[in-house]
Amino acid sequence: MNADMNAGEKPGMAIMISGTGSNMDAIISATRRGLLAARTVLVVSDRPDAPGLKKARTKGIKTLAVPYEKGVPREKAESAIIGAIKAERAEWVVLAGFMKLLTPNFIQAFRNRIVNIHPALLPSFPGAHAIRDALAARADITGVTVHMVDELMDHGTIIAQEEVAILPGDTEESLAARIHATEHKLYPRTLQQLFHEDF
């Protein structure tokens, strides 16, 4: 638990997305069903058209879209995001399908307080196409990893992993559906442990 937090207080999270936001949705639902003692203080996206942003707004959650301009260093967009997260006094930054690589400057701003979910058993199949890569490698098993975020891509202390079997005849879609179903349970449960239990 964060040393500055009073016992019983719900930590604030900023959730960062780029797309559908199904993990964001699962996390927000878990907070509302009492399974995750936390508050979503902000949802941030690099894509103004991310469907997840609209979903967050309909749930009454504050949102922010910060497009990354081509040819402009990532730090520029990040400084707007860092400012907004700090203004909302979020204790945790929860990446849920945020597709931009974070710079060391961002990691430094929230050191040991950034969490990510990845659709494979890291260190296997890092990168943006983990589900497709696991199928292409003819693996029998893949899964989901929740990890702390450091300066390297899909890297940092692993907090939780859950296996998902690859079945004969699986397509990217069928495997992705089972991986996402696993993610939607594992991510809220792991955040609850991370925020409220000692690791």
Which residue has the CB atom at the shortest distance from ligand GRF?
A: 97
Catalytic residue chosen out of the listed positions 118, 129, 184, 196: 118
Q: Count, in order, helices (H) and strands (E) of the chain.
A: 6, 7
CA distance 158 to 64: 28
Q: What x-and-dash track marks residues 129-168 binding ligand GRF by CB under 6 A?
A: ----------------------------------------
Counting other chains too, the contacts that 132-136 makes at CB distance below 8 Å and 24 or more residues apart are 132/172, 134/166, 134/175, 135/166, 135/170, 135/171, 135/172, 135/175
Residues between 65 and 104 that touch ligand GRF (CB under 6 A): 96-97
CB-CB neighbours of 88 under 10 Å? 17
**Closer CB to ligand GRF, 5 or 160, in the complex:** 160
Q: How many residues bind ligand GRF (CB under 6 A)?
A: 15
**Closer CB to ligand GRF, 78 or 183, in the complex:** 183
118 a catalytic residue: yes
Based on the shown chain and the rule CB under 6 A, indicate whether residue 11 belongs to the binding site for ligand GRF: no
Which residue type sits at 129?
H
Based on the shown chain and the rule CB under 6 A, indicate whether residue 183 belongs to the binding site for ligand GRF: yes
- In the block, tokens 């710079």 appear at 103
Residues between 101 and 130 that touch ligand GRF (CB under 6 A): 117-119
Residues 28 and 61: beta-carbon distance below 8 Å? yes
Give residues in contact with ligand GRF (CB under 6 A).
17, 19-24, 52, 96-97, 117-119, 180, 183
